[in-house]
Amino acid sequence: MAALAYNLGKREINHYFSVRSAKVLALVAVLLLAVCHLASRRYRGSDSCEYLLSSGRFLGEKVWQPHSCMMHKYKISEAKNCLVDKHIAFIGDSRIRQLFYSFVKIINPQFKEEGNKVKSDFLWHPEVNGSMKQCIKVWTEDSVAKPHVIVAGAATWSIKIHNGSNEALSQYKMNITSIAPLLEKLAKTSDVYWVLQDPVYEDLLSENRKMITNEKIDAYNEAAVSILNSSTRNSKSNVKVFSVSKLIAQETIMESLDGLHLPESSRETSAMILMNVYCNKILKPVDGSCCQPRPPLTLIQKLAACFFTLSIIGYLIFYIIHRNAHRKNKPCTDLESGEEKKNIINPSVSPLEVFLQSFCKLGLIMAYFYMCDRANLFMKENKFYTHSTFFIPIIYILVLGVFYNENTKETKVLNREQTDEWKGWMQLVILIYHISGASTFLPVYMHIRVLVAAYLFQTGYGHFSYFWVKGDFGIHRVCQVLFRLNFLVVVLCIVMDRPYQFYYFVPLVTVWFMVIYVTLALWPQIIQKKANGNCLWHFGLLLKLAFLLLCICFLAYSQGAFEKIFSLWPLSKCFELKGNVYEWWFRWRLDRYVVFHGMLFAFIYLALQKRQILSEGKGEPLFSSKISNFLLFISVVSFLTYSIWASSCKNKAECNELHPSVSVVQILAFILIRNIPGYARSVYSSFFAWFGKISLELFICQYHIWLAADTRGILVLIPGNPMLNIIVSTFIFVCVAHEISQITNDLAQIIIPKDNSSLLKRLACIAAFFCGLLVLSSIQDKSRH
């Protein structure tokens, strides 16, 4: 009954909600969200600097999240690079002095607060009075060198000295009114920030500070904001009000030692905000979206936009012509017989129309990619890891995966449904890992490394099995695989202006596919059919694999040789990142043996299968009962042993060093646990398998339309509601990945035909395209430098 109810329920869902209707809903959602964000930016303004300076919230206890944008945590080298030959001046009271100390510590962590030591770029002016005015007035003179950044603020001394009198507030208003024009004049050539007064913790204030109340502080802040904003009549004030420290203080002032001065962590947050406000527009860090303008379009991006536009126009013309032809060919009624006469109808769609339709859809999708991660239309936020944000979604998808299960069509080891299922749940776990920021938790990181290795293991297993059994080393097969692997990444490299190596996983599987192909295709070509006739060919294949392992070991321990090979032009254009190939060497070396392990496993499995040593019937254990139970026990122990070791890792570098040699233990243990019991081999999760079929697209698309800032942050389509935002962005993301998978399959049939002569012509065109791309890329690089 339960199975019947499940099947009826699934049929009902599929009847009312198909993949096509889901994609239409996703398109409508994107259009509505784009309109809403455009309207919001028009109403509230699009300057993310204002959000950084005025609003935000704490993620956890100490991580500050500005509204709508991401804040970069500056390293010493970055801060020094940004502020070289710059003069930063702080002017104000003890609170400003503490902010100054925190700011300087970003550049020099060894800087100490000692006594009343005053540095030249901090000026002690605890009141807004004539003394402060004179100091600022000097900077307005043409003959005097002006600071590049001025940070000013004061009020608590005025409250304290005058015992919180109303006369003091009136005098403060008069003084700041006289200073405001000078600040405005300075703001034309320098960055000027007026720091509003932070609240106090009145219970901790000493007796001589009891008159400093939050009510008084609010009054002084209101006066400062009102006067500074009205200092220019017809335009917006250039003096930026630094009000975000108030929000930070409201959460942390209880940790103050004296009730007046903020704890060190809060001052450091305010200093880092100042660093972001000034340096983001200079250094343009990927994960510092606050205060960054939209990057200008490159020549290649402009040409891509023209191509997609022409594709859309071309498809619309085809659609209109086809629709008119369809109307003419509509069945008409024979007046004599009353029957319909059918005119000749075009039975198939032309390849050109499919080509234009595919690029039309792809153009619209790429526009969404660009809006999400380049145009600053949608918001971005920093990641923040907690155990619940990672493990709760894992439990949720596990329940869904178990619920949606079906019988497999075949019961062989690692059959198609099972490998799709494996790819699917691994990809979902990796996605959760990325969006939750779980890389900061070492045990989770080490287990995710095994999942990446398992994907590469499948690469070795799958491609070796195909070439060994089929013996198809033709160029069509190679081009089909390379096209399906690389099409989306090449398009994203063009549209998003990113190097090929940035999407590291695709270069990794591409290179390993070519390694497998070359290893098996080179003379002597040894395939299963040939080896069955003479057992010596098995030894020949093992010698090939041994030579491959020797090459892998040589490159793994000879970084210089590896870098020389991949630094050669034009390989360097594919594998360089930030001017060198170190990242590529690190990624390749991290899983250097696992593809070889996959090939070796495929060879052993197919040999055992050929000799009928395995029992792969439905419901049958893979081996005899004793052997199956023994192997299951060993597999479970090995699986748990690896998990215990990975969970006890203390140093990421040391664990990464061991990972290439030991990751295969858990992979093989999983395969045996999943395949030895006949009942486990006979079922699979259709939920996970569905995602497994689009796993590559999911992995690549997440960079820009689920995560943000090139995976450093999270895309925010619906601000203020993290749960709803994740649901909506995930729905759109999955629909887009599925559509791209279909587009890639359609284009693969057109661009990579089976006819060799046609294929060679297409390859010549593709080669010309990449040559042109290399030339344009070189021109762009020269113009940037």
3-state secondary structure 639-690: HHHHHHHHHCCCCHHHHHHHHHHHHHHHHHHHHHHHHCCHHHHCEEEHHHHH
**What is the rounded CA–CA span in Å between residue 481 and residue 643?**
34
Which of 234, 253, 283 corresponds to the end of one domain? 283
**Catalytic annotation, pick one of 94, 439, 682, 686:** 94
- Which position has the token pair 């509003």? 196
**Residue 321 within any structural domain of the chain:** no
Q: Is residue 346 over pLDDT 70?
A: no
Paired residues of 151 in beta bridges: 90, 193
Q: What is the mean pLDDT of residues 524-540?
A: 91
Contact residues for 418 (Cβ-Cβ < 8 A; gap 6+): 408, 674, 675, 681, 684
Q: Do 365 and 481 reside in the same domain of the chain?
A: yes
Question: Would you call 261 a catalytic residue per the annotation?
Answer: yes
Split at pLDDT 50, 70, 90, the class of 342 is very low
**Mind listing the pLDDT tens digit for each residue in 53-109?**
999 999 887 889 998 899 999 999 999 899 988 899 999 999 999 999 999 999 887
pLDDT at 494: 96
- Which position has the token pair 């940035």? 502
Domain that holds residue 776: 755-784
Strands of 149-153's sheet in order across: 122-124, 88-92, 149-153, 191-195, 240-242
Distances, alpha carbon 250 to alpha carbons 92, 142, 155, 260, 272, in Å: 21, 41, 18, 12, 18
Q: Is residue 129 over pLDDT 90?
A: yes
pLDDT at 108: 82
Between 647 and 330, the higher pLDDT residue = 647
Measured in whole angstroms, how far is the alpha carbon of residue 25 from the centre of its chain? 24
pTM of the model: 0.92
Q: Do 665 and 763 reside in the same domain of the chain?
A: no
Split at pLDDT 50, 70, 90, the class of 578 is confident
**Residue 257 within any structural domain of the chain:** yes
**Residue 260 within any structural domain of the chain:** yes
**Mind listing the pLDDT tens digit for each residue in 22-59?**
999 999 999 999 999 999 888 777 678 888 999 999 98
**Residue 26 within any structural domain of the chain:** no
Q: Do 417 and 277 reside in the same domain of the chain?
A: no
**Mind listing the pLDDT tens digit for each residue in 663-687?**
999 999 999 999 999 999 999 999 9
pLDDT at 331: 52
Provide, rounded to the nearest whole percent, the portion of the chain with pLDDT above 90.
80
pLDDT at 741: 97
Ordered DSSP codes for 239-280: SEEE-HHHHHHHHHGGG-SSSSSPPHHHHHHHHHHHHHHHHH
Distances, alpha carbon 663 to alpha carbons 60, 449, 591, in Å: 34, 8, 9
| C-alpha angle 445-385-55 in degrees, rounded to nearest 5 | 145
**What is the rounded CA–CA span in Å between residue 383 and residue 400?**
25
**Mind listing the pLDDT tens digit for each residue in 581-600?**
999 999 999 999 999 999 99
Q: Do 773 and 693 reside in the same domain of the chain?
A: no
pLDDT at 347: 47
Q: Do 778 and 706 reside in the same domain of the chain?
A: no
Residue whose C-alpha is closest to residue 172's, from 227, 124, 135, 122: 227
**What is the rounded CA–CA span in Å between residue 175 and residue 133?**
8
Q: Is residue 390 over pLDDT 50?
A: yes
Please check whether residue 227 is in contact with residue 236, taking contact to mean a CB–CB distance below 8 angstroms: no
**Residue 359 within any structural domain of the chain:** yes
Q: Do 217 and 363 reside in the same domain of the chain?
A: no
**Mind listing the pLDDT tens digit for each residue in 278-309?**
999 999 998 888 998 888 999 999 999 999 99
pLDDT at 509: 98
pLDDT at 41: 82
**Weakest-pLDDT range from 318-327, 357-366, 627-636, 701-710:** 318-327
Which of 283, 308, 328 corresponds to the end of one domain? 283
**What is the rounded CA–CA span in Å between residue 743 and residue 361?**
8
Q: Do 608 and 732 reside in the same domain of the chain?
A: yes
Provide, rounded to the nearest whole percent, the portion of the chain with pLDDT above 70.
93
Q: Do 156 and 265 reside in the same domain of the chain?
A: yes
Which of 231, 254, 283 corresponds to the end of one domain? 283
Please check whether residue 770 is in contact with residue 483, taking contact to mean a CB–CB distance below 8 angstroms: no
Q: Do 648 and 742 reside in the same domain of the chain?
A: yes
Q: Is residue 420 over pLDDT 80?
A: yes
Q: Do 702 and 769 reside in the same domain of the chain?
A: no
Split at pLDDT 50, 70, 90, the class of 498 is very high
**What is the rounded CA–CA span in Å between residue 101 and residue 271?**
9
Q: Do 770 and 737 reside in the same domain of the chain?
A: no
pLDDT at 460: 98
**Residue 27 within any structural domain of the chain:** no
Q: What is the mean pLDDT of residues 196-210?
A: 93
**What is the rounded CA–CA span in Å between residue 333 and residue 50?**
68
Question: Would you call 94 a catalytic residue per the annotation?
Answer: yes
pLDDT at 293: 85
Distances, alpha carbon 688 to alpha carbons 424, 585, 677, 692, 726, in Å: 5, 32, 20, 6, 19
**Catalytic annotation, pick one of 37, 72, 125, 261:** 261
**What is the rounded CA–CA span in Å between residue 159 and residue 4?**
77
Count Cβ atoms within 10 A of the Cβ of residue 757 and give its class: 0-12 exposed, 13-18 middle, 19 or more buried: exposed
Q: Is residue 115 over pLDDT 50?
A: no
pLDDT at 62: 80
Residue whose C-alpha is closest to residue 595's, from 527, 673, 663: 663
Tokens of 597: 């392990």
Q: Determine the straight-line distance between the first and last CA of the chain, rounded to whole angstroms.
A: 70
Q: Tell me phi and psi for residue 64, to 5 degrees.
A: -90, 130
Instruction: Tell me the average pLDDT of the chain.
Output: 90
Q: What is the mean pLDDT of residues 364-376?
A: 94
**Catalytic annotation, pick one of 226, 258, 558, 648:** 258
Distances, alpha carbon 395 to alpha carbons 398, 419, 425, 535, 667, in Å: 5, 21, 12, 48, 21
Q: Domain with 64 in it: what CATH number?
A: 3.40.50.1110
Split at pLDDT 50, 70, 90, the class of 333 is very low
Q: What is the mean pLDDT of residues 725-733?
A: 97
pLDDT at 233: 63
Q: Is residue 230 over pLDDT 90?
A: no
Distances, alpha carbon 290 to alpha carbons 64, 257, 301, 379, in Å: 13, 32, 23, 10
**What is the rounded CA–CA span in Å between residue 28 and residue 449?**
37
Contact residues for 149 (Cβ-Cβ < 8 A; gap 6+): 86, 87, 88, 89, 190, 191, 192, 193, 274, 278
**Residue 290 within any structural domain of the chain:** no
Q: Is residue 340 over pLDDT 50?
A: no
Q: What is the mean pLDDT of residues 423-437?
A: 97
Contact residues for 29 (Cβ-Cβ < 8 A; gap 6+): 728, 731, 732
**Residue 196 within any structural domain of the chain:** yes
Q: Do 569 and 601 reside in the same domain of the chain?
A: yes
Q: What is the mean pLDDT of residues 759-784?
A: 91
Number of domains observed in the structure of the chain: 3
